[in-house]
Amino acid sequence: MDTVVKFTSQTQGKVHVFRATQFACALSTHVLKSNPDRRDLVAKLQDVEANMNAGRKLFRLGNTINSIEAANRSMQLSDRVLCLCLTAANVSRALYSLCDNVLWASSVGLIRDINKECWSLQSSRYYLLSLIMNLTRDFYVVLQLIMQRARDKHFRQKMSQHVSESPEVAEVVIPQLDALLFLLFESLKSHPSVALDTLKNICDLFGPLNKLGIYQTNAGVVACCGLISSMVGILTFAKPNLNINT
């Protein structure tokens, strides 16, 4: 078990690069597809995108075990909200990975006679649930940070000074709202890992929401959000101190 977990964790860097390349190709394809002079380039980009997607599916074969192990660890957390959110997120991701593995096995001919569309939709449902639970964790952590800042006397003085120095804002916006936004900004500024994780999860939402028909958008928006999420993933992988889970 430990060997499998170690191996799959070492491939995460490659997965992030593959994912960024895939969405970069998808975004370029969306921008260039209306140009008849770029048909050959669009075809090549689509081939690269398909190959990157296939490569990601291959690298994700061990993610189900990884997610189960993560769920076991999150169940030991003393904070009940974090325990619930992270355990539900990891279990959902394990089920998503399982569906993804079945789809990969079907694409290479190892499994036949399955309803690919049904499995794909189910995979998107589990992925969406995982993202929602991760975002719930993010919002919970942000709320805790805001409450900690609000209880800090030195920071309250700084916040009061900020509001008093911005009369033009106070006249247009409710002062309490301005103070709350200032608290939010300062909390995220001092904890970039939380800000990056929240941004990543929000960007990732557009994929399954579009796939499930909950919030329809064009392929360019999905690709752009996917590319932003992938770049954040590469950054947090390269600098573990920016990873909220470290």
Per residue in 99-141, pLDDT tens?
999 998 888 888 888 899 999 999 999 999 999 999 999 999 9
Q: Which pLDDT score, from 0 to 100, does residue 63 have? A: 83
Per residue in 219-245, pLDDT tens?
999 999 999 999 999 899 888 889 887
Query: Predicted confidence band at 155 (pLDDT cuts at 50, 70, 90)?
Result: low
Instruction: Select the more confidently predicted residue: 48 or 55.
Output: 48
CA separation, residue 235 to residues 29, 30, 124, 139, 200 (Å): 25, 25, 25, 21, 11
Residue among 154, 238, 144, 148 at smallest CA distance from 196: 238
- Give the integer Cα–Cα distance in Å for 128 and 204: 9
List, in order, residues 6 or more apart from 102 with CB less than 8 Å away. 111, 114, 119
Measured at the CA of 157, the angle between CA 156 and CA 158, to 5 degrees, comes to: 90
Q: Which pLDDT score, from 0 to 100, does residue 172 have? A: 43
- Domain segments of the chain as ranges: 2-134+199-242
